[in-house]
Each structure stands twice: as structure tokens, then as C-alpha cells.
Chain A
Amino acid sequence: MTKAITVSGLHKSFGRTHALDGLDLSVGSGEVHGFLGPNGSGKSTTIRVLLGLLRADSGAARVLGRDPWTDAVEIHRRIAYVPGDVTLWRNLSGGEVIDLYGRLRGGLDPRRRAELVERFELDPTKKGRTYSKGNRQKVALVAAFASDVDLLILDEPTSGLDPLMEEVFRRCVAEERERGRTVLLSSHILSEVEELCDRVSIIRRGRTVESGSLAELRHLTRTSVSAELAGPPDGLAGLPGVHDLDVRGRRVRLQVDTDKLDAVLRSLSESGVRSLTSTPPTLEELFLRHYQDEVTAR
């Protein structure tokens, strides 16, 4: 698979702050890639490097096979970008801004534009200053989804959208994927990421800490198991990958590294299983683990 975005060993400092500290990122063509991390972890800095608005101190970045700093204009012809906080010109109407953004990219599909304005329930005749936060977001989203581009870079694009519009957004992203477009989606809404993304990268303090498909990432984390057995369990404590073991008579609760699950199940069934609940890790847990590591590290 060709890569839409490859980033390796990216460094960027602002004065004494190291915003990016050797970040790696790889986004395959045609995939929807989730880009996660706590506030201030460097997501927006990365995106601004990918857009050629910031120049990296060191490291390599390629967007659509080109250097985002030197070939910014050629790349931007094939990119649509939605920032997390859209600011509009106070005296230009939303429709004017949508068309401007479209023309500044590869062009705009007027049929799709009309359809999107309808679906997002946006009044394009209002002036920039009169839009609410959510409606300003919609202006940028309509312009992005209606543009004729290969790659969409969305930086917390749904902030301020109501749940109905959030649903419209999800359907739009799914449609983009069906058309074979690549999407880099930075978001804190984990259900959104879980539903939409093929692969995710989690960054912390300017570094990539996890990257892969959700299935792969789940594999790296722990599954919770609780069971009621026919007889007292035996030898569970000695198994590799078992944590937080809690045995009360015949009731057993434990956490196990997902790739060590097999041995635990075998051990349990030797004692005879009456009931068994196993919960796979959610993205929240995945994410919280990285947040909490950060808390304990301090």
C-alpha cells in the first residue's frame, strides 16, 4: 500500500518547549487514520508541519509523496484542511467562504456542495460574525467534503457540532473512505475514532507511543476476565501476563495481557468453568492507560 503521509523522527521546538520530540506517523492511502493524544501532546503542531505552516527542526515528512515545506502549494491542491477552531471573516458570508476555500484547493463539486449545505443544515447567506461555533465548523466541513481532493486533514473537526450533525459528519467520512480518499482525523471523541478509523496513532509529549489497527492495539492491552469455577483455581498466579488476580473461593477476577489470554483460559477450564465473562479493552481504556502513565510519570 502506498503511503499518503510518512513522518519519521520529527522534532520541533518553540523556545525551550519541545513540541515534537521524534514523532513518527504513517498513514496509508485510502485509510481513515485516527490521531490521538492528550491536550498539548503535539497533534496540532504535527498537522501544521504537514501543512507547511511550520518548518520542522529535524526529521523527515512526506505528504502525498512530497516535502510539505518546499512543495506546499502542489500538495495543498490535493488537500482539504479543517481546523478545530474555525475563524471566519466577519463581513463575508458562509457561502462566499466555502467557494473561496474550494477554489483555493483543487476545485469544488457544486452538486456535492449543495447537498452538503442541505445535510449540515447550514445557512450560507449569513455573515461570518453571526455564526455560532458549530456553524463555523460546518462552513469549513462543507468546503472540505465538497472539495475535489485526495487527502483530508481534520483537526478536532466536530467540536461544537450537535449529535445529529456529528452523525452527518460520520457518514461523510465513511463516504470519503468509499471514494478512496485518505483522512487524517485528530479527535478526542473516542467513539468517533472507534467507529471511523482503520488505524490509529497515539502520541504523547511529541512522541508516538502506539500505532496500528484497533485490533492490533487491543492486542497490546489487557482483557478483564471474571469467572465462577467448579473447584478452586490452581496455578493462575504463576502464569505470565496475569495481573490484579483476585480469588474469593471459587470466584476469580483478573486482568490478562490479551496475547496471553489463551493460557489463562486453559488453566481456568481445567478447574471447570461455570460462568465466564471476558471484556475486551475499549479504546477508552487504551487511551486512559496512556494518560495515566503520564500522570504517574510526573
Chain B
Amino acid sequence: MSAAALAVRPTRSRQFAGTGILLRFALRRDRVMIPVWVAVNALMVLSMPNTLEGLYGTPAERADLVAQMAGNSSLRAMVGPVLGDSLGALTAWRAGVYAGALAAVAGLLVVVRHTRDEEESGRQELVASGMVGRRASLTAALLAAAVANGVLALLVTAGLAGRGAAGALAFGLGIGGVGMVFATTAAIMAQLTESARLARGLTAAVLGAAFVLRAAGDSVTDDGSSPLTWASPLGWLTNLRAFAGERWWVLGLFAGAVLVQGAVAYALAGRRDLGMSFLPSRPGPAAGRLGSAGALAWRLQRGGVLGWSTGFLLAGLVYGGMAKGAAELVGDNEGAREIFRRMGGQSGLTDAFLAAMAGMLGLVAALFIVASVLRLHGEETSGRAEPVLAGAVGRLRWAAGHLAVAFGGAVVLMLLAGAGLALGHGERAGAVLGACLVQVPAVWVVGGVAVLLYGLLPRAATAAWGVAGAALLIGWVGPALDVPRAVLDLSPFGHLPKLPGGGMEWPPVLVLTALAAALVAAGLAGLRRRDMTT
């Protein structure tokens, strides 16, 4: 009798069997990715106090900044409200939204990678056939994200403790909390969709919505009290008020969201079969119209291009709408003025704001072009390229399909961003559009480096992400940090004319375009000569 009873009543603890082994395995697989994410994020936060001290050294200057932020809605929308005039509070203001978003991206990547990715690839089947409980994989993935966010929280707390222990602790926990909220969101999405790519995209869309909600809320209030801000986990980070009279109970919101979302994810996971999902996949056509490698490349990438395009258009509209208010803030603070000058050029501050936004969108477009070029690498290493190349398709034609999407897509994205900015701003459409299009050669250079790496050193192709990341870091953080000119010059974006406002300079644009073409040509020459890998 006892044997039968045991068979039908699985003990609860066995559902988590193997979690420890899977967690160690996950951390082993992410031994590079997690430390790099954590280190980059922590460095960005911890470098902030010194930078800010250089810009707003005296209490008077800081009080001035706080007063001006109270009157400027557009910059509040971008960065959030300033809640105190200590260096700690300014650090939490300047770094909070971006550190939180970065932690959220890391959390979602880690969770999807160890849940839906594993199921989609079929690897999970073999793992689950071992002594592994039904809930072990999800638990291990969430714990891996918790380890990453925990270490980040610890580093931020320790690094900022000198500015006030309570504030440092609140800020560290808040950043880690945002990371965990989106880790659990990703855990739900991983149950809903059959595709890891879609799970990542949906979670990123939720993160984007959280950013927009907070931006909208912060543009109408200057203390984070808008319900819109309260609706966004990124807004909770503001409302935690680190270094500005901490509201400890807000940490309960993070904990509550993590618990509720985690419970939903576990409940969904317990109701489905391995590899299945709640959003059903529809049958496709019995006969296909795809007739060439180029058509295939477009079919594979069109979803991504559509998503990116929507994002760029919306971002352009939002930032265009803020442009006029931007000039109000900077007012007569010499430090902030200087930053904007370095980011955006010499002329009017509205122009500088527009130029800065166009530059920022260009940096993000570099991420698109790397992702798009590396589809070649993904197709090759997955073995899907092999039967295509065994058809009457030359390697160059096969590559050209994906490269047309990548390099053409970059132009489309910047066009849409420009159209959005121009519509949002409502003035000088031509100049705004030009400011966005002038970014294209620099985006192409980053894409060219990706093609070169893929063609010559396929095993190191993913290093192209590092190139895009470095350009992003130099372009985003560099101007605020007094980085030497030589370092700024490393990024192709540093050589572009500052439009609108500055004069159009053709030489750098033409040189960058030629450089991009040379990089692509060298990469393709390498691809033609080398062996295909599997």
C-alpha cells in the first residue's frame, strides 16, 4: 500500500530537487556575462559622485540645480526629479533610472536564458529527465538573477556608504529590487510564449512601458508623487527617496511585486507541459513564396525591424516634444551648460538638446545593427545556413540579404526617429531629420566592425556587442565625465558634426561611410575565403 501512496503523492520538497546543482550550473555558464553586467552598472553608479562634485561643487550650485529642475518638466521626464541637494541624492537622481533599467535588462536576460531558451533548444528535456524537480529550473534561474542583483546592491551600498549609510543601502536595494521585479516579469513571459526571443521582447516592452509611465508622471510632478510614477517600478526607485529622507516601506512594493509575479510564474509553470506555452502557435502556409536568400533574410528579420522601428518612432516623438523645455533647465548653471555643449554643440540649447537626442538614438541604432549583422552568425552556428548554402546561393548573396536588412534598417530607424523628433518638436523638420540621418555613417561603421569580426574571426563575432557597448558608454557617459579627447575620438560617433545647430561637415561623414564600406568589404572577403563552421 505504501508504495502506491508514495507514487501518487509527490512530496513538495521534491519539486525543487536539483535546484542547487542547476544554480551552480547557471552561474558557471554566466561566469562572464553576470560579472560584466554587474561591474559596468556598479562603475557607472559609483563614478557619479565625483563627476557631480566637479560640476556642482558648492551647496549654492546644487541648490540652484534643484530649483531649476523643479521648473523643467522635460529633463525630469528623462532623468527623474531631484529630491535633495546632497551629492548622494544627486547621484541617486542622475544614475537611478539608468542603473535600474540596466539591472532590469540583466535580470530578464538571465531568467529567459535559463528557462525558455533551454526549453526551446530542447536541452531542458535531457536536464529534466535527471533528478530535477518540476520547479527547479525556474527557481535556479530566479536565484541566479537574485545573485546578480544582490551583488550589485552590495557593491552600490558599499561604494556609496561614505555619502550616508542609510541612503546607500536604500539605493542599492532599490536598484536590485528593480532588477528582481523584471526578472520575475521575465519568468512569467517565459511561461506565456514558446519563443525565448519573444519572451525577451515582451519583457523589454514592459520595461519600456515602465520607463514611459515614469517619464510621463515625472514630467507633471517634481517630487515623484504622480500616480503614473507610482505605477512604474522605475518610479518606485525614485520614491524610495534614497539620501533624501528614505521611505523604507517602498521596499515592500518591490518585495510584493517580486512575490506576486513569482507566484504567478510558478502557478503557470505548474500548469503546463515542458516546451509548451500559453500563447498557442498558429499553423503556417502549406506552400511558401520565399524564393531567395534575400527574401528569407527579410522574412527572418522583419519582426525585429518592425519592433525597433516602432520604438524609434515613439522615442523620437517623446523626445521631440520635450525639446523646448530642455532649454529652461540648464538656465545659467555653467556646469550643466558645459555638459550640453559637449554632448550637443555650441549653438542654442534647444538645438543642443535635439542634437543630443539624435546622437543617443544613433547609439541605440548601433545595437540594432550589431544584432542584425550577427543574425548571420546565428544562422551559421545553428546549422540553418548549411542547407541554404548547399543551394544555388553564393555566400556573398546569402550574406548580402542580411546585411541589406542591417544597413538599410539602420537608415530606416534613423529616418523614423527623425520623423518622430520633427513631429514632436513641430519645427524645422528638415534640420531635425538631417540631424538623425547624419548619425547613419557612424552606425554603419559599428555594423562594419561586426561584419569584419564575423568574416575574419567568426568565433569572436559576438565581440561586436562590446564595440557597440563601448560606443554607447563613451557617447552616453563620456561627456559628463570629462573623458580625454583621445578616448572620445575612439567612437565613430565622436566625429560627427553636431546637428542641428552646428554646421554640416562633409569630410567626417564621407570618411566614416568609406570606412564602413571598407570594413564590410574586408569582412566579406574573409567570409568568402574561410570555412563555414557549425
Task: Write the residues of chain A forming the contact surface with B, with a CB cutoff of 8 angstroms.
Answer: 48, 51-55, 72-74, 76-77, 79, 81, 83, 85-101, 103-106, 124-127, 129-130, 140, 153
Inter-chain residue pair count (beta carbon < 8 A): 115
Known: A76-B393, A100-B296, A104-B292. A93 touches B384 (CB 8 A): no
Do residues B287 and A95 form an inter-chain contact, with CB atoms below 8 A? yes
Known: A53-B531, A53-B532. A93 touches B285 (CB 8 A): yes
Near A by CB (< 8 A), chain B positions 231-287 give 281-287
20 more CB-based (< 8 A) A-B contacts, given A53-B532, A95-B286:
A48-B532, A51-B386, A51-B389, A53-B390, A77-B392, A79-B390, A81-B390, A91-B195, A91-B284, A92-B299, A93-B284, A93-B286, A95-B285, A100-B288, A101-B387, A103-B292, A104-B388, A124-B287, A125-B286, A140-B387
Do residues A87 and B391 form an inter-chain contact, with CB atoms below 8 A? no
Across the interface, name the chain A residue whose C-beta is closest to B299.
Answer: A92
Q: For A51, what are the chain B residues with a Cβ–Cβ distance below 8 Å?
A: 386, 389-390
Can you list 27 A-B contacts (CB < 8 A)? A51-B389, A51-B390, A53-B531, A72-B389, A72-B395, A76-B392, A76-B393, A77-B392, A83-B387, A87-B383, A90-B195, A93-B283, A93-B284, A96-B285, A96-B288, A99-B288, A100-B290, A100-B291, A103-B291, A104-B292, A104-B293, A104-B388, A105-B391, A125-B286, A129-B194, A129-B281, A153-B390
Q: For A98, what are the chain B residues with a Cβ–Cβ distance below 8 Å?
A: 288
Give the secondary structure class of B's interface. Answer: loop
Across the interface, name the chain A residue whose C-beta is closest to B275.
Answer: A129
Q: For A93, what are the chain B residues with a Cβ–Cβ distance below 8 Å?
A: 283-286, 288
Chain B nearest CB, measured from A114 CB (Å): 10
Do residues A83 and B299 form an inter-chain contact, with CB atoms below 8 A? no
Is B123's beta carbon under 8 Å from chain A?
Answer: no
Across the interface, name the chain B residue whose C-beta is closest to A153.
Answer: B390
Do residues B531 and A54 form an inter-chain contact, with CB atoms below 8 A? yes
Is B394's beta carbon under 8 Å from chain A?
Answer: yes
Do residues B383 and A76 form an inter-chain contact, with CB atoms below 8 A? no
Q: For A140, what are the chain B residues with a Cβ–Cβ distance below 8 Å?
A: 387
Question: Chain B 136-163 against A: per-residue CB contact (8 Å), 1 yes, 0 no?
Answer: 0000000000000000000000000000
Q: Which one, A48, A91, A124, contacts B286 given CB within 8 A?
A: A124
Known: A106-B392, A129-B120. A86 touches B387 (CB 8 A): yes
Q: Which one, A73, A89, A95, contacts B384 given CB within 8 A?
A: A89
Chain B nearest CB, measured from A145 CB (Å): 14
With the chains together, A74 CA to B289 CA distance in Å? 23
Do residues B281 and A130 form an inter-chain contact, with CB atoms below 8 A? yes
Q: For A76, what are the chain B residues with a Cβ–Cβ distance below 8 Å?
A: 389-393
Q: For B529, what are the chain A residues with a Cβ–Cβ distance below 8 Å?
A: 55
Do residues B391 and A96 form an inter-chain contact, with CB atoms below 8 A? no
Chain A nearest CB, measured from B527 CB (Å): 12
With the chains together, A83 CA to B387 CA distance in Å? 8
Is B13's beta carbon under 8 Å from chain A?
Answer: no
Do residues B391 and A104 form an inter-chain contact, with CB atoms below 8 A? yes
Chain B nearest CB, measured from A283 CB (Å): 28
Across the interface, name the chain B residue whose C-beta is closest to A50.
Answer: B390
